[in-house]
Amino acid sequence: MTTTTPSPARNRSSRQGRPTLPRSPGAGGFTLVELMIGASLASFILAGVLSTFLFMGRSGANVNNYNDMEAQAREALEYFAEDTRQASGVVWSDANTVALTVGSLRVTYQYIPTNRRFTRQEVVIATGVVNSTRVLVTGITSFCRYPWRPRAPTPRLSRPPTPCSPPVSFCATSASPPEPSVLLPIP
C-alpha cells in the first residue's frame, strides 16, 4: 500500500498547514445593518454620557460661584457689622452710600452700579488721606436700602411674668404696614 501526502499548494482547505473549518452562511461577520444599529446605539449612549458630564461640570461651576458669592457677602456683612457697632455717627448721602464715623476714621460703604461692586473705604478725618479701599462684593445685580422707621414703644406689663412663663412683649398697633416683629424680654 502506497501513501501519498498532498502538497499544500494543491490542498485548498488548509492554510499554512492548519485545516480551515467550513463556514456557515450566517457566521461570516456583521452585516451592514447590524453595524449601523450598533453605531447608532453607541452614539446615543455616548451623547448621554457627554451631556451628563457637561451638566455636572456646569453644576460644579455654579456651586463654586455660589460659594464665592456667599463668602464675599459674609465678609462684607462682618466688616459692616463691626464698623456699625463701633460707629459714633452715620450719614446716608444717597441710596447707594453710607458713611460711618469710627474713631478718627470715616468709613464709607458704597454700591457702584456701573461696575456692580460694593466697596469699603477708610479715610482719616483729620487729614482727608485715604487709608484703604477694598472691594467687598462683586457682580451685584441689584442693591436696595430699606428705610428704617422707629417702632412705637412696647407697653409694659403691670405685673412681672411668672418665673415659669417665657418672656413676653406686646407690640403697639399702628396704621403703617406690618414690619418684622422682634420679641424682647421684659425686665
Q: How confident is the model at residue 164 (pLDDT cuts 50, 70, 90)?
A: very low
Domain range summary for the chain, segments of one domain joined by +: 32-149
Most confident range, picked from 35-44, 111-120, 175-184 = 35-44
In this structure, the number of other CB atoms found within 10 A of the CB of residue 82 comes to 12
> What is residue 141's predicted lDDT score, i.e. its pLDDT?
80
Tell me the three cell numbers of residue 187. 425686665
DSSP H or E stretch at residue 42: helix 32-86
Determine the 3-state secondary structure of 127 from DSSP: coil
| Burial class of residue 129 (count of CB atoms within 10 Å of its CB; 0-12, 13-18, 19+) | exposed
Q: What are the phi and psi torsion angles at 129 (to 5°)?
A: -80, 135
DSSP for residue 12: T
From CA 118, how far away is CA 98, in angstroms rounded?
11
> What pLDDT was estimated at residue 180?
37
Q: Give me the residue label for grid cell 459674609.
A: 74
Interval 77-98: pLDDT, tens:
999 999 989 999 888 888 889 9
Structure pTM?
Answer: 0.52
Neighbours of 123 (CB within 10 A): 17
Question: For residue 153, what pLDDT is reported?
Answer: 67
Query: Which stretch of DSSP H or E encloses residue 114?
Result: none
pLDDT single digits (tens) 14-62: 456 666 666 666 567 889 999 999 999 999 999 999 999 999 999 999 9
